[in-house]
Amino acid sequence: MVNVAIMGYGVVGSGVVDVITQHSESLAQKAKEEISIKYILDIRDFPDSPFADKFTKSFDQILNDDEVRIVVEVMGGLKPAYDFVKSCLLAGKSVVTSNKELVAAKGAELLKIAQEKNVNFLFEASVGGGIPIIRPMTQCLAANDVIEIAGILNGTTNFILTKMIRDKMEFNDALLLAQQLGYAERNPAADIEGHDACRKICILAAIAYGKHVYPESVKTEGITNITLEDVAYADSWGGVIKLIGQAKILENGKLEIFVAPMFISRESQLSSVDDVFNGILVRGDETGDIVFYGKGAGKYPTASAVVADVVDCVKHFKARKYLGWEDTTENYVADYNDYKFSAYLRCISNNDRNAVEKAKSLFGDIQIINRSNQPENEFAFISPVKSSSEIDKAISALAEYGIETISKIRVGEV
């Protein structure tokens, strides 16, 4: 029998307890050992829970119990998760986590400790919820050079955008619904401001290219400025707005990486990834495009990935699964100002009949797009491909003519 401790009894933690309990027989068959929950760590009391006898508030009780060989960290956040996970690894326990913030911030360090202690540190649930993506990228696609990764990596924002696109629901109502369904982070700012998706693309880029990517170095934009008007323009252009995380290695060896809302053409496979689903496109040099699709958030999809990692730990006590990447060298991430893309821009011009002509003179060959109920003083267009700094310069020049740009969204080529 293998004893496991679960740290955190929130949405995911309670899902992990349910899955281990409800699938105990088949898990024992697959792991070749019975998996038993010995402790559940939480600061709250759950006197009416059927697992009431397993609750503890003492992390030291778990740390000092040699019978506990696997610790599941599903608390989220860095404090105290980082200290707890590090202590468990140093004490020779394998750790499974769904905590993308932890992996994105401290992955290189924690993987190194796991290697030194010959234990496992696994985090399949940290990206894509229930979608298998970490293992396929580290194992099944190992023969490929990854040319590019582009994905819808956050279920909450995809759910919100889908509601805005399909039902014309207002942003805040859709967010409330996502929270009620258990998709959002404790602080949903991490979802809607793009930080959660950023952590996930950093983890995927680290696996693909072998170097840790710190989220602070990644240009990250969320969906808080997206309006129903932008959604209407995207529709008339021939697509939808999705929050995309993207990473690729440039010829000079630097990493181009960002998170931003994007116009995605209806032709793209990612355009039909809706609701809480995530879609991750990995372009391998040998495989071509592979798309991973499934529920990217929610109690049981995420718990499923966590429990599968627990089974893997049980099967690999004596044969550590190799997973690791180097810490980052300086200037690894390319300067966002140099990234080249085409942009959708929505502008307001109160007194200038020649506003569109001015936009043409600054941007070059623009494609005008329209929407129903478009006010007379508003126009929108798709710019030609330019560097981010060139686009910003042209926007400033428009402003000098009194033409205000009220929306700027990248146009994706995924």
Calculate the alpha carbon distances from 344 to 230, 265, 370, 394, 402 in Å: 9, 13, 12, 13, 19
Footprint on residues 55-84 left by ligand HSE (CB under 6 A): none
Q: Which of 54, 200, 299, 358 is catalytic?
A: 200
Q: Which stretch binds ligand HSE (CB under 6 A): 64-72, 82-90, 181-189, 339-347?
A: 181-189
**Residue 275 region by backbone torsions, left for phi larger than 0, else alpha for psi between -120 and 50, else beta:** left
Backbone φ and ψ for 368, nearest 5 degrees, come out as -75, 135
Say whether residue 191 binds ligand HSE (CB under 6 A): yes
Complete DSSP assignment for 88-101 = HHHTT-EEEE--HH
User: What x/- string results for residues 126 through 145 when contact with ligand HSE is judged by CB under 6 A?
Assistant: ---x----------------
Amino acid identity, position 29: Q
Calculate the alpha carbon distances from 49 to 8, 15, 299 in Å: 14, 13, 17
User: What x/- string results for residues 147 through 176 when contact with ligand HSE is judged by CB under 6 A?
Assistant: -------xxx--------------------
| Residue with Cβ nearer ligand HSE (16 or 359) | 16
> Are the CB atoms for 287 and 118 separated by under 8 Å?
no
CB of 309 to ligand HSE, least distance (A): 15
Applying CB under 6 A, among 17, 19, 137, 297 the residue interacting with ligand HSE is: 297
| Residue with Cβ nearer ligand HSE (13 or 284) | 13
Question: Which ranges constitute the DSSP H helices of 91-152?
Answer: 100-117, 134-135
Say whether residue 215 binds ligand HSE (CB under 6 A): no
CB of 163 to ligand HSE, least distance (A): 14
Complete DSSP assignment for 2-69 = EEEEEE--SHHHHHHHHHHHHTHHHHHHHHTS-EEEEEEE-SS--TTSTTGGGEES-HHHHHT-TTEE
Say whether residue 332 binds ligand HSE (CB under 6 A): no
CB of 137 to ligand HSE, least distance (A): 17
Applying CB under 6 A, among 73, 124, 185, 309 the residue interacting with ligand HSE is: 185
Respond yes or no: is residue 93 known to be catalytic: no
Say whether residue 107 binds ligand HSE (CB under 6 A): no
Q: Total binding residues for ligand HSE by CB under 6 A?
A: 11
> Are the CB atoms for 57 and 42 separated by under 8 Å?
yes
Residues with catalytic function: 200
Binding site for ligand HSE (CB under 6 A): 129, 154-156, 183-185, 191, 196, 296-297
